Amino acid sequence: MTLNQIQSFAHGIGVSIEPSQVQMLDLYLDLLLDANAQFNLTRITDPAQIETRLIGDSLALVPHIPRAARSLLDVGSGGGVPGMPIAIARPRLEVTLMDATGKKVRFLGETAAVIGANNVTAVQARAEELARERDHRERYDVVTARAVARLATLIELALPFLRIGGRGIFPKGSAAEEELDEAAHAIRLLGGEARPVQESPVEGTRIVLIDKIRPTPSEFPRRTGIPNKTPLPG
């Protein structure tokens, strides 16, 4: 993706970014591609595909972030998708990129410093544990997660972080509705309410939006590994 292509993709979906932000995105992509060659941050290996998919899937979420949102947590951020491009596009949003794997979190912290994304904090943690900490539970206006788990599991990992009135924004594949049906009970139980699934400008991606309308009961999330091993029944 050339600088012009990044800028026109962003404008095409209603995200206005300055040339300096386009430069940051471009530098981030270079660092991601380099790091990927070393330690497989993403399974996509074709550079052109990495660029369109990862930047596209990330920027496509920006129009769904409420204007008043001040904080965002990206659960299972890996190489920084979708959290890093969102942080670049919305510099006034405080963005926390969280992942369980130390080497990924080191990459995220170093990359944020190199590209000058001063609104980014990288945290190494398991979602199941971080969600029990006072500074993180029900503290975020927006939670994102891409390619981390099926929705029924993801809801349990992500919704505890949202304050009431906050929103979960999750890019999913073409089976998004099926996953939503499967997760309907978990969404209610954890205090969420699904909005209609949104189309994404990226082919093959749909966007699931969940509003947090009630507090999450204190028994959730269950112990580390359980949401994945035994998802809440539908």
Segment interacting with ligand SAM, rule: CB under 6 A, options 6-14, 111-119, 143-151, 188-196: 143-151
Min separation Cβ 23 and ligand SAM, Å: 22
Residue 77 as a binder of ligand SAM (CB under 6 A): the answer is: yes
Segment interacting with ligand SAM, rule: CB under 6 A, options 21-29, 85-93, 96-104, 179-187: 96-104
Closest residue to bound ligand SAM by CB? 78
- Cβ closest to ligand SAM, residue 27 vs residue 125: 125
Residue 99 as a binder of ligand SAM (CB under 6 A): the answer is: yes
- Those residues whose C-beta lies under 8 Å from the C-beta of residue 46, and which sit 6 or more positions away, are none
- In the window 104-133, what residues touch ligand SAM (CB under 6 A)? 104, 126-128
**Closest to 85 in 3D by CA, of 38, 117, 44, 113:** 117
CA distance 144 to 123: 15
- In the window 40-59, what residues touch ligand SAM (CB under 6 A)? 42
CA distance 149 to 129: 17
- Cβ closest to ligand SAM, residue 70 vs residue 223: 223
Min separation Cβ 70 and ligand SAM, Å: 22
Residue 147 as a binder of ligand SAM (CB under 6 A): the answer is: yes
Residue 148 as a binder of ligand SAM (CB under 6 A): the answer is: yes
CA distance 146 to 219: 24
Binding mask 149-188 for ligand SAM (x = CB under 6 A): --------x-------------------------------
**Closest to 95 in 3D by CA, of 39, 13, 30, 28:** 28
Sequence-distant contacts of 179-182: CB under 8 A, at least 24 apart: 179/150, 179/151, 179/152, 179/208, 180/151, 180/208, 181/234, 182/150, 182/151, 182/152, 182/234
**CA 198 from centroid of its chain's CA atoms:** 16
**CA angle in degrees (0–180, nearest 5) for 84-222-97:** 10
Min separation Cβ 53 and ligand SAM, Å: 9
Min separation Cβ 90 and ligand SAM, Å: 18
CA Rg value for the chain: 17
Question: From the list 90, 136, 137, 146, which residue makes contact with ligand SAM (rule: CB under 6 A)?
Answer: 146
CA distance 164 to 232: 21
CA distance 59 to 52: 10
Chain residues in the site for ligand SAM (CB under 6 A): 42, 76-79, 81, 99-101, 104, 126-128, 146-148, 157
